[in-house]
Every structure is written in C-alpha cells, then in structure tokens.
Amino acid sequence: MKPVFLTQFLIEEQRANGGAAPDLRLLIEVVTRACKRISIAIGKGALGGVLGEAGTGNIQGEAQKKLDVLSNDILMQANEWGGHLAALASEEMEHPQMIPEQYPKGGYLLLFDPLDGSSNIDVNISVGTIFSVLRVPEDMKHGDPEKAFLQPGVKQVAAGYTVYGPSTILVLTIGTGVHQFTLDREIGSFVLTQRNLRIPEQTQEFSINASNAHYWEPPVKRYIDDCLSGTDGPRGKNFNMRWVASMVADVHRILTRGGVFMYPLDSKTRAQGGKLRLMYEANPMAFIVEQAGGAASTGRERILDIQPTKLHQRVPVVLGSREEVETVARYHHAEA
C-alpha cells in the first residue's frame, strides 16, 4: 500500500473537514522536522557527545541535561523564521519568547516540553517531546506575551508528542481524532501508521510512582489499595502496574492498550500544585487522550477546563481509560 506521509495527511484533513489551515500545517511540519533532528541526536547516544548534564538549571529548578538544552534550541531555531507564530513558550525557559523582529509574526502560539523524561536519557529509556498549539488571542498585548498563553486547554487547536523509543513515533491531534506516524529513517519522513487511535474504556493496568505512597491523599491510597486487593477486593479484578517515569512513554502505552496514568497531588508536591506542568504536559496530553475517547482530570476537575494563572503552573493528573478515570474521580468525590 502507498505510504501516506504527514504532509499528505494534513492536506487531506484540510480538504475533508476544515482541518489544518496552511499556517497550522506549516507549524506542525516545522515542529515535527525539529523532532526528527532531536531523534537523530538522541539516537547517537554516547557517540554524539550529548549525554550527561549541561551544568545549567532551568526555571523548574531542575538540572538540565545537554539534550534538554539542545532540544530546546532545535525547536526555537526551527520555529522563528516561518511567519506562523507570534511567540513560543518552553518548560526550559522562564518567559515566553516573541518571534524576533526580523521575522513576520503569525496567528499561533507554540508551547513545548522539548525533552520530557530527560532523567531517563543517560539510562537509555524512551523520552519524548510534547507540544501544544493555541491561537493568538485578539487582545494579545505585545508587551505582555505571558497573558496571551494563559488559555484553558479547550482552546488548543493542535497537540502532539514524539516518543523517542525503539522507533520514533509522532502522535498528533488537530481536533479530528488522534493519528500515529512512524519515522521512516531511510527517507527521513513520518509515515501514517494508525488513524483514529481509541483508548479502551476499561483497563486493568495503572501507572503511578508507587514510591510516593506515603505522601498520597486518602482517595488515592484507597484507590490503589483496592486495585492491589485484586479479585478478592472491591474491584473484583487483578491489576498490573507500569511506571516508566517518562510521561510520553506511559501515555503512549495507554493510548495503545489502555490504562490509567496518575501523578496525583501529594504532600510533597501540594505546595507547588502538583508535579506535572499544565500548559505543556497535562493540557496537550489531555487533548490527545480525550480525542482518543479517554478522559483527563485532576481527580476533581477536567484538566482542559482549568483557567491557567501562571505559565509554569503544575496540576495533579489522572488520565487514560475513561471508565477508570471516572472511578478515580469517584474515590476523590467520596472524600471531598
């Protein structure tokens, strides 16, 4: 069968249901081309001289890996000249960056986590890039770009991730379902390998960092204990557990075979509002998961409805198989 490359897919989506407008198509092509470069850099491993610490820290107070900085630079440089963006925001940068004066500005805002899970890089475990696209709001004051980014997740026009694993896979939504593309390294193009991914409604697999059990809130403790009680317990079925500590890898597994991913509020992260970042981790993943028939909540409210107050704000995350996410929410409401 003739391969369908990303560009052809986007053009056909545009024809079929008013999908990607030309500038959005250009944005997605530029971002995914940057992800190909990141994939090549990661694939070189120790041979590329890009492993280990950069010797710098980011706004999150985290030590940066060399590949964190390289991935961020690749995405910044790729997106500055095209005329499709007004500004960019990154997990690695404290403030949004306006497109440089010498380039035309476009109608979109791009947010990204350039290399999520980078603590796994040096032990050769899958990592990924997560991105989210918003429209420039009418009242964008060029003097204060940060406010322009503070839009709820329901305003996203596109979201995606690239997981750098045994194969490099791009998962993308422009609001018309979730589609998967696999990087053909011989020709250097993303090829459509699955249309309309759907997350199974039910699951027997949860994904959580169980070493935090001591810090969990009561509803989470009860939910996990009930899963671990298996067929003898209130759930009446046995559960399996997976935790990669790369959100992109865990979410990709859930998109592929179902499951529930949890990074709940706990006593360690309560002061910051949670562990994961809303604007460039939780929101894009929530958009993708809902487009694939799943659900994404904080345990108490729908993630996509949250009105952001800060660019780097953090939220609790429970996402994946719809019925399981709803079950976790019931445990929270029972102890509201």
Which residues of the chain form contacts with ligand P6P (CB under 6 A)? 116-117, 119, 209, 245-247, 263, 276
Nearest to 281 by CA among 156, 119, 106: 156
In angstroms, what is the minimal distance from the CB of 126 to ligand P6P? Answer: 10
User: Is 197 within 8 Å of 180 (Cβ atoms)?
Assistant: yes
Q: Indicate the residue among 29 and 116 with the shorter CB distance to ligand P6P.
A: 116
Residue 148: other Cβ atoms inside 10 A: 21
Q: Residue 228: which residues within 8 A CB-CB, separation 6 or more?
A: 239
In angstroms, what is the minimal distance from the CB of 223 to ligand P6P? Answer: 18
Q: Indicate the residue among 247 and 278 with the shorter CB distance to ligand P6P.
A: 247
- Compute the Cα dihedral for 39, 320, 28, 14 and give only its sign: positive
Amino acid at 293: G
In angstroms, what is the minimal distance from the CB of 335 to ligand P6P? Answer: 23
Q: At what angle do helices 283-291 and 247-257 cross, to 10 degrees?
A: 10
User: Is 170 within 8 Å of 180 (Cβ atoms)?
Assistant: yes
In angstroms, what is the minimal distance from the CB of 73 to ligand P6P? Answer: 20
Q: Indicate the residue among 213 and 245 with the shorter CB distance to ligand P6P.
A: 245
Q: Indicate the residue among 61 and 234 with the shorter CB distance to ligand P6P.
A: 61
Q: Residue 254: which residues within 8 A CB-CB, separation 6 or more?
A: 199, 203, 207, 260, 261, 289, 294, 319, 320, 321
How far apart are alpha carbons 136 and 144 in whole angstroms? 12
Q: Indicate the residue among 250 and 290 with the shorter CB distance to ligand P6P.
A: 250
Q: Indicate the residue among 32 and 246 with the shorter CB distance to ligand P6P.
A: 246
Q: Indicate the residue among 184 and 217 with the shorter CB distance to ligand P6P.
A: 217
Q: Indicate the residue among 41 and 247 with the shorter CB distance to ligand P6P.
A: 247
Q: Indicate the residue among 128 and 153 with the shorter CB distance to ligand P6P.
A: 128
Reading the block at residue 208, the tokens are: 């959580």
In angstroms, what is the minimal distance from the CB of 209 to ligand P6P? Answer: 4
As beta bridge partners, residue 5 has: 191
In angstroms, what is the minimal distance from the CB of 144 to ligand P6P? Answer: 28
Pairing of strands 178-184, 189-194: antiparallel
How far apart are alpha carbons 202 and 52 in whole angstroms? 39
In angstroms, what is the minimal distance from the CB of 285 to ligand P6P? Answer: 10
Residue 108 CA, distance from chain mean position: 18
In angstroms, what is the minimal distance from the CB of 269 to ligand P6P? Answer: 9
Residue 61 region by backbone torsions, left for phi larger than 0, else alpha for psi between -120 and 50, else beta: left
How far apart are alpha carbons 128 and 123 in whole angstroms? 14
Name the residue with the smallest CB distance to ligand P6P.
Answer: 247
In angstroms, what is the minimal distance from the CB of 224 to ligand P6P? Answer: 15
